[in-house]
Structure 1
Amino acid sequence: MEFLLAGNYAHYVLMLSTLILLMGAAFLGKRIGKRRQAQDLPVDDELKIVLGAILSLFGLLVGFTFSFAINGYQARIQAEENEAIAIGNAFQRISVLEEKYQPRAESMLQDYLALRIHFFETTDETNRAETRMAAIQLQTHMWKLISQLAQQNPNAVMVTALNASNELYTAQQKTMSSWQRQVPGAAWILLLFFAVCSNFLLGHNIRGIHGNNTIIMLLPALISLALLMISEIDSPGAGLIYVTPENLNALRHTLEVGGLAP
């Protein structure tokens, strides 16, 4: 099921496909129900009980799945905030370096900040991966610079600069650990199975409706919208709902007006 969620437009393909599938199940159930009516077969009240139970279980599944997706989204928001804090600390800590090295370190941090902002803003996975590698390489260069200076002048003050440089990589790795979908493929399959069963039984239990299919189309539309919302929230860096680098942009603005300057 994961491959259905790849790409920037796959969410809408998923919604449309789900809508067609669920409507087909509902109309199939309605057709079979009409055949039973035409043959004057007794209507089983047990089917209504089963329908109510399945709808209740399906509602619980949707709620739990939505909760998982929200937790992942909040984790990505927290990771972006942690990166802004780590970069801000690094800007302050480079003030302990010798004055001739401060402009170089500051320039590297400026470039690093721009790369991290671009990481959150881009919707292209290939470009995002390239941006991440460029940021790691830049952090490595900065670590080498500070570590060489620390070897030349080892003291407790230089340790703080080393820790600040190391925190850049740590914060970035925490972002990557949260940059994944929280809803597994098996959960999507289970959701679709319950959705198909619910709509089939709904169509089968509809009585006395001739030519009016508004009610039978309502549940598939609502379920499709719910699954679309979950897939949007659960997809890092794609779709309409994604984490924006508000804290990183705020940090960049702070630097532009002279804040945190060594």
Structure 2
Amino acid sequence: MPSPLRHPLFLFIVAFVAMSIGAYAGAALMRRHRQISDEAHDEARDEFNVVQAATLTLLALMIGFTFSMAVSRYDQRKNYEEEEANAIGTEYLRAGLLPDTDAQRVQTLLRRYLDQRIHYYQALDDDSIARVNAATNQLETELWTAVRNVAVERQTPVIALAVSGMNDVINTQGYTQASWWNHIPVAAWSLMLAIGLFCNVMIGYGTRGQIKRNAVLLVLPIVIGLSFALIADIDSPRGGLIRLVPVNLIALSQSLAPG
């Protein structure tokens, strides 16, 4: 997702400025072409109101659908965080079925791996994320190597259970990563911005009175800007005020025995 869409405050400012310009541009256009504001053209005014209402309804539907997309993605990230905590906790218990030396090594690696997964949810800048991802990949390699070596030496159903649990740990991390990369498409943002701009032009074109005194033209840009900012905040796990706290991973970390 492009970087501007990761910052709700920046998106609010851009949307508000663009919508305000559109509203006042429509009002300026109306002052030069006053046909629909004359009493002799009530029929044209009625037709304009129908088109304006339809356009505003379309904008409301677009905002509603986009908000639903953002919320569904946020819920998906929460669900994968819970699944990841369950997978790590289950594998930590299954690691106890391995021979003592291997069990201690795998459990130690799992505690370190769990710390990195918590850091992943709390990281904000690209450098921190890159370091966490590098450490996570290294730990996944070490964990898989540890259980694989035991499985090669002892091909028993109990060992297979531990190997299967490790596979779940690695898979859930991949699902989590994919859900964090899944954002609202840029095309949806562009279409919603274009419809919002057109709505504000029509609001300004249908207004009456002096442009400088008509502060009501700022109401719709503020509402649209806040709506866009809220959607971007929910859709951006790291860029806004609404953060996904890894409560399940933190609770699991606190429940595990110290190394």
Q: If the length of structure 1 is used for normalisation, what is the TM-score? A: 0.90
User: What's 1:4 paired with?
Assistant: 4
Alpha-carbon shift at residue 147 of structure 1 (Å): 1.4
Q: State how far apart, in whole Å, the 2-side matches of 1:39 and 1:116 are.
A: 61
Counterpart in the other structure of 1:95: 96
CA offsets 1:19-74 (integer angstroms, 9 cap, x no match): 11110111111122223349986553222211101000110011011111111111
**CA distance in structure 2 between the aligned counterparts of 1:52 and 1:40, rounded to whole angstroms:** 17
Query: Deviation per CA, 1:199-225, whole angstroms, max 9, x where unpaired?
Result: 111111112456433311110000000
Number of residue equivalences: 255
Q: Deviations over 1:72-118 (max 9, x none)?
A: 11111111111100100111001111222322222101100000000
Q: Are 1:142 and 2:139 counterparts?
A: no
Aligned-pair identity in percent equals: 31
Cα 1:229/1:103, change in 2 over 3 Å: same
Q: Does 1:35 align with 2:9?
A: no
Instruction: Give the equivalent residue in structure 2 for 1:236.
Output: 237
- In structure 2, relative to structure 1, the CA distance for the partners of 1:167 and 1:39 (3 Å cut) is closer
Q: Distance in 2 between matches of 1:217 and 1:89?
A: 55
Task: Say which is worse superposed, 218-227 or 239-248, in terms of deviation.
Answer: 239-248
Q: Name 2:178's counterpart in structure 1.
A: 177
Instruction: Indicate the larger mover: 203-212 or 17-26.
Output: 203-212
Equivalent positions of 1:112-261 (< 5 A) are 112-208=113-209, 211-256=212-257
Please say if 1:67 is aligned against 2:68. Answer: yes
Q: Which amino acid aligns with 1:5?
A: L
1:3 is displaced (CA, Å) by 4.3
Q: Determine if contact 1:26/1:199 at 8 Å carries over to the other structure.
A: yes
2:21 counterpart residue number? 24
Q: Answer with 183-192 or 148-157: which moved more.
A: 148-157
CA RMSD in angstroms comes to 2.1
Contact preservation (8 Å) 1:123, 1:237 = yes
Counterpart selection for 2:11 from 4, 14, 21: 14
Per-residue deviation, 1:142: 1.4
For the structure 1 residues 15 and 210, does the alpha-carbon distance in structure 2 shift closer, same or farther, using more than 3 Å as the test?
closer
Q: Which residue of 2 aligns with 1:107?
A: 108
> Could you tell me how far 1:125 is from its partner in structure 2?
2.8
Question: Displacement, 1:151?
Answer: 1.9
Gaps of 5+ in 2: none
Given the superposition, is the C-alpha separation of residues 39 and 116 from structure 1 closer, same or farther in structure 2, using an over 3 Å criterion? closer
Counterpart CA distance in 2 for 1:138 and 1:40 is: 70
> Residues 72 and 234 of structure 1 are in contact (CA less than 8 Å); yes or no, is this contact kept in structure 2?
yes
Kept after mapping to 2: 8 A contact 1:181/1:235: no
One-letter amino acid of the counterpart of residue 189, structure 1: S
Q: Secondary structure at the match of 1:172?
A: helix
Distance 2:164 2:158 in 1: 10
Q: Which residue identity lines up with residue 155 of structure 2 in the other structure?
A: P
C-alpha displacement at 1:132, in angstroms?
2.0
- 1:95/1:102 contact within 8 Å kept: yes
Opposite residue 105 of structure 1, the aligned amino acid is: V
Runs of 4+ in 1 over 6 A off after TM superposition: none
Secondary structure class of the residue paired with 1:96? coil
1:214-246 per-residue CA deviation (whole Å, 9 max, x = no partner) reads 311110000000000111111233221121111
- The 8 Å contact of residues 28 and 211 in structure 2, kept in 1 or not, is answered as no
Distance 1:76 1:126 in 2: 22
- C-alpha distance after superposition, 1:160-203 (max 9, x if no partner): 11111111110001111211243111111111111111111111
Contact persistence 2:37–2:208 (CA under 8 A): no
Q: Report the CA distance between 1:253 and its aligned residue.
A: 1.3
Contact 1:27-1:203 within 8 A present in 2 as well: yes
